[in-house]
Amino acid sequence: MHEIQWSEDFDKQGLEPKRQFWLTQQESTTKILRTIYQENALDIKVCYTDWSQPNNMELDYLQAEPQECWLRETILYIHNKPWMWARTIIPKLALQTFNIDLTKIDKTPLGSVIFHEPGLARSEFSYSTLKPTDDMYQKIQQHSTINAKKLWGRRSIFSLRDSNFCLTEVLLDDLPQLPAETVVAQIMSSR
């Protein structure tokens, strides 16, 4: 087992357009999915949530000193199929900057809560591919039936009132077919 390598360079060669879309869009994934599917088509399974110590690579990415953070790992399901795994890392002080207690959102998608925060900023993405020998792939496999040779993931840092937290998202399954430009246009016009 080993840690995965992240890069801000995104090699789109050989990657189908719908996967490119889901990996590079900055909007709330939940919001986009709700424009495509009915509310009851989406479900969240909470795999892990607790105070814990992130690994050193995550702390480096957050540019944070070792500290206890709120960790939340979830799987987003579409029509009962696992579609995306997410890991959120929020340092204790960063939790106090939100208008809602994120430790109590249970099955509510994170994007449904944080994208309403005034002043929220998101960094550029870092990307990686996960192989079955990677620690993160194996962690995801404990909660789903994935058996792909490779998974694509992205991560970013959200900043709010001088506090940062990290969100890592990994695409698990066949992605919804959609006319990406139309959906994005609808989302942008609803802002």
Per 3-state DSSP, what percentage of the chain is helix, strand, and coil (rounded to 5)?
30, 30, 40
pLDDT digits (tens, 9 = 90+) for 150-177: 899 999 999 988 889 999 999 997 666 6
Identify the CA nearest to 87 among candidates 55, 122, 48: 48
pLDDT single digits (tens) 16-31: 777 888 898 888 888 8
* Confidence band for 186, pLDDT divided at 50, 70 and 90: low
Residue 145's pLDDT band, with cuts at 50, 70 and 90, is confident
Distance CA 105, CA 113 (A): 9
Domain segments of the chain: what residues? 17-189
Provide the pLDDT confidence category of residue 64 given band limits of 50, 70 and 90: confident
Looking at CATH, the fold of the domain delimited by 17-189 is given as Chorismate lyase (3.40.1410)
pLDDT (tens digit per residue) in 122-131: 999 999 989 9
**Taking 50 as the threshold, does the pLDDT of residue 1 lie above it?**
no
